[in-house]
């Protein structure tokens, strides 16, 4: 499970070498994976994964989103925040 994607700072090393590698292995083994985020997939790609230290890398972000789409299906959770 990847919890709250988009909440922290992103480096290109983490996106490409860590997240990308983990997702690749899960794709090969066809393992379901849970992701949570306050972003929808388009926003996650465009506003979070495309930027690393102010460098715009949309192709690398699209690769990650393609893997997320392969491993999961989006489920919109809406309603009142229940954080205390």
Q: Are 41 and 73 in contact (CB under 8 A)?
A: no
pTM of the predicted structure, to 2 decimals: 0.82
Rounded-to-integer distance, Cα 26 and Cα 71, Å:
8
Each domain of the chain, given as residue ranges in start order, spans 12-71
* Cα-based angle 74, 76, 78 (whole degrees, multiple of 5): 165
Evaluated on CA atoms 2, 7, 8, 14, the torsion sign reads: positive
Per-residue pLDDT tens listing for the chain (84 residues) = 999 988 888 888 989 999 999 999 999 998 989 999 989 999 999 988 898 778 899 999 999 999 999 999 999 888 888 776
């Amino acid at each position: 499970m990847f919890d709250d994607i988009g909440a922290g700072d992103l480096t290109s090393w983490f996106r490409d070498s860590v997240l990308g590698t983990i997702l690749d292995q899960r794709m090969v083994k066809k393992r379901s994976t849970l992701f949570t985020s306050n972003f929808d997939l388009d926003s996650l790609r465009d506003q979070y994964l495309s930027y690393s230290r102010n460098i715009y890398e949309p192709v690398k972000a699209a690769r990650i989103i393609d893997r997320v789409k392969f491993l999961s299906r989006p489920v919109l959770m809406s309603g009142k925040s229940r954080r205390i």
